[in-house]
Structure 1
Amino acid sequence: MQRSPLDTLTRLVTRPERLVCGIMSGTSVDAIDIAIARIRGSGPTTSIELLHFSETLYSEEFQNRIFASSEVSSSNVNDICVLHTALAHVYASAVQEGCQAIGLDPSDLDLIGMHGQTVRHLPDLMEIGGYRVRSSLQIGSASTLATLLQLPVVFDFRAGDIALGGQGAPLVPYVEYLLMRSERAHRALLNIGGIANVTVLPRACAPEQVVAFDTGPGNMLSDALMRRFYGREYDENGQVATSGTVNSDLLMWLMQNPYFREKPPKSCGRELFGEDFLHDYLDLANELSVRATEDIIATAAETTVRSISAQLTPYVKDWDSFELYVSGGGARNRYFTSGLRHAFAHARVNTTAELGIDPDAKEALAFAVLANEWLLGNPSNLPSATGAKRRALLGALALPA
């Protein structure tokens, strides 16, 4: 006999600990990240044990269709519709493989937290039919995933914040506040994915004191240029960027982007730094006779470093106790990490591994924690970061059919 939704939720809420799987696929569109964690408590009492992390690479077909669906000039409503359901199958396979790797069956899990694949993020107000709205679209059918795995799935985390006038991003700062704030040090948590985002946690801060925002392109420009010029998905260890020379005129043009001068709360995505932006950049490189591909990539990489340092530095109040922890794929790019250590020479710069959080797993782990927060009824946005009118319970629930 199938349990009622109330029975399912009651059973999960009353457990002293839960096995939760977080699923994240970001704007780099390189892989699906799976983090399986044992979570005890909730809110300020949350404690986690990461049991497994894995990355499942997108096939070339899925990657190309997602990229195409993320650009106005190439998006196709049929592709978006098909991808919405098909992605759930890819996610389910990734979860099954992750469970198998540590001797679990998916039925051993209690809950899934699924971010979905962002195909468009429009954080600025737009008018339609007399209404001014913000919007963000993540695809991946939660009902299909719940049915394939026979597990409850928490999803659609951004919508609640947007409903309250927020941008729906960034969402990970709440989890960073729970797990990584310090009573003795001022900390900044920097994630370099396709888009880079930073969370500033003042010493012994309250939730309303957290500052967080997207700084702009992380790996996005470098990855796109590597695919175009070298047929590779990314600049491994930053080797190509390190071999090049930054062009000052190109860099000046990049750094004049208005987004870098906006004040938080703010967030961005491919709508600002996608294909159209890349084409403009390459057109200018051609006009300036910058031909060496390594110089073009070095200049793009330098933009990531400069835009981060320029926007983060004003929030550093005490260099003697300031710590910067880096996560995401960009944490493995030596051009980025070297540039950040130079820019923040007086600070302690390391990866989140020093805090006991796998730098590759952090984002997927965050959505496991956010799913747990939904289950326990805890608001999990930070209005200081998103611009929402108030704290909100984030997420919706899909149960197996």
Structure 2
Amino acid sequence: MLSLNKNLQKLVDIAQKPTKTGIGLMSGTSLDGLDIALCSFTGNGLQTKFKLLQFVTIPYPQSFKDEVQQVFARKTASLEQVTLLNAFIGNYHGELVLEALENWNITPNTVDFIASHGQTIYHAPKRLHQLQNFPNATLQIGDGDHLAVKTDIITISDFRQKHIAAGGEGAPLALYGDVLLGSKPGENRILLNIGGIANLTYLPGNGDTTQILCTDIGPGNTLIDAACRKYFDMAYDLDSAIAKRGKVNKALLNALLDHPFFAEQLPKTTGPELFGLHYVEQAQSRSETQNISNDDLVCTLSAFTATSIVNFLKTNITADNLSIFVSGGGARNPFVMNHLKQAFAETPITDTGDLGIDPDAKEAILFALLGNEALCGEPLTIGDNPAVLMGKFSFPV
């Protein structure tokens, strides 16, 4: 009788462990750095319990950001650059994982798996590309084999492709982790993530999975950060200092809000491919606001993010007794958060720390969770969302 090869046998052994240790990696559209979350998991599915053991964000050097920006959210880019970056990012992320483990005094052989989101360079739902003969598509680079070989840890990567293959748009994948970690019987919850793009998961307290909603809303930090980089040579608007100096230009704000995306059927996805500085320039042209100050521009873009979130919630979430839990960089943006709290004065709004989930680490935790599900879970049926297990396995040898 033939036996399993050692890689497959190791997968079986890991899947059968009562407690597994995994690393979740998240590199977002803001390109600020790599989020590395070391977690332990017991169980799977709705019985999953986790602990965040360690977390760090290792900032990217400007040289790395410059390389990725050459291919990021561009309809045309160097095929050679994409090919080279795919290998480079996988290897580089492996180096950063080893650096983090060394700083935590943890040896790689005690980690069961890495779950890597990769670096999104283009997101192309059919609604956006509108090419009749082509399906939804998305591309994340940072090859899993390079990660596995560099770290000597089994790596699970490229999660979004299965979601698309099964009929989804590849995002937001937060749905699966939010349902597993964020649901509470008897309490209607919104888990709002304000990263580069703003997205949310609505979790009804009655446990009816057909009522769960997970969707992108519109821009989160992406336009604010892009304007800060272009006009202030800053990665982002620290403590909303620029926005607080400026004034909201209502003509520009109305032009920014005037796009069919905001009225499209739910769930939906988007990205910097739509909401980039070109979008802002077009809105300024339509509203004849090209000459407003840079402070006013950042202030108006901050108001755009906040207003689009408020409009979405008031239009699409009608449940009473809501609690809103915020994560992502936007949870640290006082301008955006104050706007939300003023619009929903009767609704408790806190960050996901109140759920035991570090708001900065949430997305990395969620990918570690998806890795645990890939190892020992079963496909979850959540409304009309694809019931699939996601991720491709790469072995060190």
TM-score range, shorter chain: over 0.9
Find the aligned partners of 2:185 and 2:69 in 1 and give their Cα distance. Answer: 42
Does 1:396 pair with 2:382? no
CA contact (8 A) 1:181 1:204 kept: no
What does residue range 74-85 of structure 1 map to in structure 2 within 5 Å? 75-85=77-87
CA contact (8 A) 2:95 2:150 kept: no
Question: What amino acid sits opposite 2:395 in the alignment?
Answer: L
Find the aligned partners of 1:65 and 1:383 in 2 and give their Cα distance. Answer: 40
Of 248, 252, 255, the residue aligned with 2:254 is 252
| Partner residue, 1:17 | 19
| Partner residue, 1:355 | 355
Q: Which runs of 5+ in 2 are unaligned?
A: none
| Partner residue, 2:270 | 268
Question: What amino acid sits opposite 1:142 in the alignment?
Answer: G
Evaluate the alpha carbon distance shift between residue 251 and residue 127 of structure 1 in structure 2; reply closer, same or farther with a 3 A threshold. Answer: closer
Deviation at 1:277, TM superposition (A): 1.5
Does 1:224 pair with 2:220? no
Find the aligned partners of 1:71 and 1:293 in 2 and give their Cα distance. Answer: 24
Deviation at 1:195, TM superposition (A): 0.5
| Partner residue, 1:337 | 337
CA contact (8 A) 1:381 1:394 kept: no
Q: Deviations over 1:193-215 (max 9, x none)?
A: 11110111111324332101111
What does residue range 30-41 of structure 1 map to in structure 2 within 5 Å? 30-41=32-43
Q: Which runs of 5+ in 1 are unaligned?
A: none
What does residue range 125-140 of structure 1 map to in structure 2 within 5 Å? 131-140=133-142
Evaluate the alpha carbon distance shift between residue 106 and residue 160 of structure 1 in structure 2; reply closer, same or farther with a 3 A threshold. Answer: same
Find the aligned partners of 2:52 and 2:310 in 1 and give their Cα distance. Answer: 31
CA contact (8 A) 2:212 2:383 kept: no
CA contact (8 A) 1:32 1:55 kept: yes
| Partner residue, 1:293 | 294
Deviation at 1:291, TM superposition (A): 2.5
CA contact (8 A) 2:190 2:324 kept: yes
Q: Deviations over 1:356-381 (max 9, x none)?
A: 11000000000000000010142258
What does residue range 2-401 of structure 1 map to in structure 2 within 5 Å? 4-72=6-74, 75-124=77-126, 131-283=133-285, 287-288=288-289, 290-319=291-320, 321-379=321-379, 382=382, 384=384, 388=385, 390-401=386-397
CA contact (8 A) 2:327 2:362 kept: yes
Name the % identity. Answer: 35
Structure 1 SS opposite 2:231? helix
Evaluate the alpha carbon distance shift between residue 289 and residue 22 of structure 1 in structure 2; reply closer, same or farther with a 3 A threshold. Answer: closer
Aligned residues: 393
Question: What amino acid sits opposite 1:349 in the alignment?
Answer: I
Q: Deviations over 1:76-116 (max 9, x none)?
A: 11111111011112211221122123220122100110110
Question: What amino acid sits opposite 1:292 in the alignment?
Answer: S
Find the aligned partners of 1:86 and 1:124 in 2 and give their Cα distance. Answer: 29
Find the aligned partners of 1:127 and 1:282 in 2 and give their Cα distance. Answer: 25
Q: Deviations over 1:128-155 (max 9, x none)?
A: 7x84311000000100101111111111
Evaluate the alpha carbon distance shift between residue 132 and residue 382 of structure 1 in structure 2; reply closer, same or farther with a 3 A threshold. Answer: farther
Find the aligned partners of 1:103 and 1:349 in 2 and give their Cα distance. Answer: 37
Structure 2 SS opposite 1:82? helix
Find the aligned partners of 2:381 and 2:396 in 1 and give their Cα distance. Answer: 27
Structure 2 SS opposite 1:246? coil
Evaluate the alpha carbon distance shift between residue 74 and residue 358 of structure 1 in structure 2; reply closer, same or farther with a 3 A threshold. Answer: same
Taking structure 2 as the reference length, what is the TM-score of the superposition? 0.94
CA RMSD of aligned residues (A): 1.9
Find the aligned partners of 1:171 and 1:256 in 2 and give their Cα distance. Answer: 27
Find the aligned partners of 1:323 and 1:40 in 2 and give their Cα distance. Answer: 27
Taking structure 1 as the reference length, what is the TM-score of the superposition? 0.93
Evaluate the alpha carbon distance shift between residue 247 and residue 209 of structure 1 in structure 2; reply closer, same or farther with a 3 A threshold. Answer: same
Structure 1 SS opposite 2:135? strand
Q: Tell which deviates more after alignment, 255-264 or 326-335.
A: 255-264
Evaluate the alpha carbon distance shift between residue 138 and residue 399 of structure 1 in structure 2; reply closer, same or farther with a 3 A threshold. Answer: same
Evaluate the alpha carbon distance shift between residue 278 and residue 61 of structure 1 in structure 2; reply closer, same or farther with a 3 A threshold. Answer: farther
Q: Deviations over 1:275-315 (max 9, x none)?
A: 42243245457x33543211111110101011111112234
Evaluate the alpha carbon distance shift between residue 318 and residue 74 of structure 1 in structure 2; reply closer, same or farther with a 3 A threshold. Answer: closer
